Amino acid sequence: DAGITQSPRHKVTETGTPVTLRCHQTENHRYMYWYRQDPGHGLRLIHYSYGVKDTDKGEVSDGYSVSRSKTEDFLLTLESATSSQTSVYFCAISEGTDYGYTFGSGTRLTVV
Amino acid sequence: QQQVKQSPQSLIVQKGGISIINCAYENTAFDYFPWYQQFPGKGPALLIAIRPDVSEKKEGRFTISFNKSAKQFSLHIMDSQPGDSATYFCANGGSNYKLTFGKGTLLTVNP
């Protein structure tokens, strides 16, 4: 997707290990969001950022932390991965003039 | 947590038919009601959105109908095509431009 990239695209990790997912944008948008997508649950907000070093929790934040040290990067960390965190993770950006999001292509994370 | 209830979970339509997906929301404090379209292996993409000062918005074959008193809005896809087969999400806006999404509707358009 133009202006937003997620890495890695796929990852398999073991239970109990820390994992960091990266979202990088070139649009200079103020707002960035991390969602997880699971069958039957749709898209659920994990954490979001409304500026550099300004972050807040979403609906399903337990077990996750985030950091945003510069406008273009928003990192999602699973402190100690569990099988329940197996999911597809999407990053989204918004310039904040309306609610129109641009989503990344997603990271498929499998915790074994 | 404000909820957005979307129905049906899945929908099968014949080519040329009309697809209708419904959404009910709770949060009346915000004024943006979008629909997103997601193809397999891709991130969702904004399809069409409406603000509550109008009851209907049309873009090509896609129409949003909005009923403020019932707190419902719906997506109509006219002349549905196999290329429309995707998952559709409605959403409602919150503070800091957060979106709460419905659980999605898997649309299959048979040729």
Considering only CA atoms, which of A35, A99, A91, A44 is closest in space to residue B49?
A99
Q: For B43-108, give the DSSP string.
A: --EEEEEE-TTSSEEEETTEEEEEETTTTEEEEEESS--GGG-EEEEEEEE-GGG-EEE---EEEE
* pLDDT at position B1 over 60: no
Interface membership of A98 toward B (CB under 8 Å): yes
CB-based contact A48 B98, cutoff 8 Å: yes
Cis peptide before B82 (omega within 30 of 0): no
Token representation of residue B54: 């109008």
Considering only CA atoms, which of B18, B91, B8 is closest in space to residue A99?
B91
Considering only CA atoms, which of A21, A7, A28 is closest in space to residue A72?
A28
Instruction: Find tokens 């049309």 and name the residue.
Output: B58
Considering only CA atoms, which of B44, B85, B31, B107 is closest in space to residue A43?
B44
CA separation for the pair B64, B59 (Å, rounded): 9
Nearest to B44 among A59, A99, A103 (CB): A103
pLDDT tens by residue, A19-62: 999 999 999 999 999 999 999 899 999 999 999 999 999 999 99
Q: How confident is the model at residue B94 (pLDDT cuts 50, 70, 90)?
A: confident
Type of residue numbered B74: S
Cα separation values, B24 from B2, B41, B51, B65, B96, Å: 11, 27, 15, 12, 22
Helix (H) or strand (E) holding A101: none
* pLDDT at position A1 over 60: no
> What are the chain A neighbours of B95 within 8 Å (beta carbons)?
none
* pLDDT at position A83 over 90: yes
Mean pLDDT of B56-85: 95
* pLDDT at position B102 over 90: yes
Alpha-carbon dihedral B36, B86, A11, A68, rounded to 10 degrees:
-10
CA separation for the pair A64, A16 (Å, rounded): 13
- Mean pLDDT of all residues belonging to chain A: 95
Interface probe with A: pick from B26, B73, B99, most Cβ of A within 10 Å: B99
